[in-house]
Amino acid sequence: MDTIFALASAPGKAGVAVIRISGPLSWEAVRLLVGVIPQPRQSTLRKLRDPDGEILDEALVLVFDQGASFTGERVAELHLHGSIAIQRAVLRVLEGIAGLRMAEAGEFTRRALENDCLDLTQVEALSDLIEAETESQRIQALRVFSGALGKRIESWRRMLIEAAALLEATIDFADEEVPVDVTGDVLARITAVISAVGREIDGMNAAERIRTGFEVAILGAPNVGKSSLLNALAGRDAAITSDIAGTTRDVIEVRMDIQGLPVTLLDTAGLRETQDPIEKIGISRALQRASLSDLRVVLVDEHGIPDVPLGDSDLILTTKADLTGDASGISAYTGQGLDHLLSEIGHRLSAIIQGAGLATRERHRVAFFDGRESLERSIQLLNRGPGFYDLAAEEIRAAIRALEILVGRIDVENLLDEIFSTFCIGK
């Protein structure tokens, strides 16, 4: 492979900038810059020089041997002072070294996949880990990045390989006088995998919610205090507030971290009968988004509950407690009850993610469903007798292929291109 390099830390001025080099010439590039290659995995302070001997920077230099690095190749890292000028100068020198080129987006991670340092689920988890904004997202991404999902899939794959091998052995010895009946052993393995895959499918909705975030809609009549509540919870003026009814026309979104969970609060148009066509559109959008949200906070005042169907999970609160003196109500003006509201939202959303699985993406869902359907067909064929064992074995192999696609054992270039296009250069 080519030797590639790129800025591995965030672009721009910083205290420290890290440039990563990976490939067969990475250590040679370090020798050209600092003169002496340090011992693997022992950081050493060295002066970096350009081809004319001019000092570029004084940096920590770290090298990793093949098989002991993130990519599985020989790797070098230069921990520079974070000046943009220094970064550019060092990158310019690397560009001038024969055999080196700038890395493409996600190319370091792709090499880790190709060198069996990561499986495809770990690659996706690494992307999620980089994008994580809340504690729950970090924990979930780290679980998958550690290889937990890949290990589960590998255990299912081994069980199915054993099941297929038992069937094929029976087919090979079908002409023997006393053929061994392996149906029970095969069925036990298949049903165990179907059950495990089913549990993972059941936990996908909760896992996806952790990854993509929850939506909490704030509903109520005009001027009940929805926008004021949104601003108070967000700690900024995200929505326009006014005494004029119908000020909010479109859905206003604010992203928040509530008890470690990613939550988007939705401020919606006031619910009422109106002849204003624009306001009607706003109310329609409010009801539509609210119907798709994970939780609805319904605000009420002295005029009562708005004319909207309520569900058992809806959180109904009285507002403007600073004016009414209601000790159990909330007030966006004084902050009364807001901490309790955030705690209740976090509690209810946490209940949703109980039993969350490790799979989080639509391609995971498709592969699980395809694999389970193949296994269910294999059971039907097994129950029809030995004459259908060859077809049952083929259905088991189809399920194995579905699992292999999940972890990237089967090369699917279009899928890989799509996944790695979301990575930044340097990762």
Q: Please state the residue numbers annotated as binding site for GTP.
A: 223-228, 242-248, 267-270
How far is Cα of residue 409 from the mean position of the Cα atoms in its chain?
A: 20
Q: Do strands 295-300 and 214-220 pair parallel, antiparallel, or not at all (unpaired)?
A: parallel
CB count within 10 Å of CB 10 equals 12
Q: Which helix (H) or strand (E) holds 76?
A: strand 75-81
Do 222 and 270 contact (CB within 8 A), yes or no? yes
Of 406, 413, 347, 402, whose CA–CA distance to 376 is shortest?
402
Q: What are the phi and psi torsion angles at 188 (to 5°)?
A: -60, -45
Do 226 and 267 contact (CB within 8 A), yes or no? yes
Virtual torsion, Cα 231, 233, 235, 240, nearest 10 deg: -10
Which residue positions form the known binding site for K(+)? 223, 242, 244, 247
**Residue 267: both structure tokens together:** 């401020």
Which residue positions form the known binding site for Mg(2+)? 227, 248
**First and final CA of the chain: distance in angstroms?**
17
Reported residue count of the chain is 427
**What would the DSSP string read from start to end of 370-403?**
HHHHHHHHHHHHHTT-GGGHHHHHHHHHHHHHHH
DSSP state of 424: P
Q: Residues of 334-371 as b/e, b for ≥16 C-beta within 10 angstroms?
A: eebbeeebeeebbeebeebbeebbbbbbebbbebbebb
Which residue positions form the known binding site? 223-228, 242-248, 267-270
**Residue 52: both structure tokens together:** 């004319």
CB count within 10 Å of CB 285 equals 16
**Residue 309: both structure tokens together:** 């169907």
**Residue 50: both structure tokens together:** 């350009």
Sort 145 into a burial class: Cβ within 10 Å, 0-12 / 13-18 / 19+. Answer: buried
Residue 193 vs residues 84, 349, 404: alpha-carbon distances, Å: 53, 30, 14
**Residue 43: both structure tokens together:** 């950081």
Virtual torsion, Cα 364, 189, 161, 397, nearest 10 deg: -60
- Bridge-partner residues for 220, per DSSP? 299
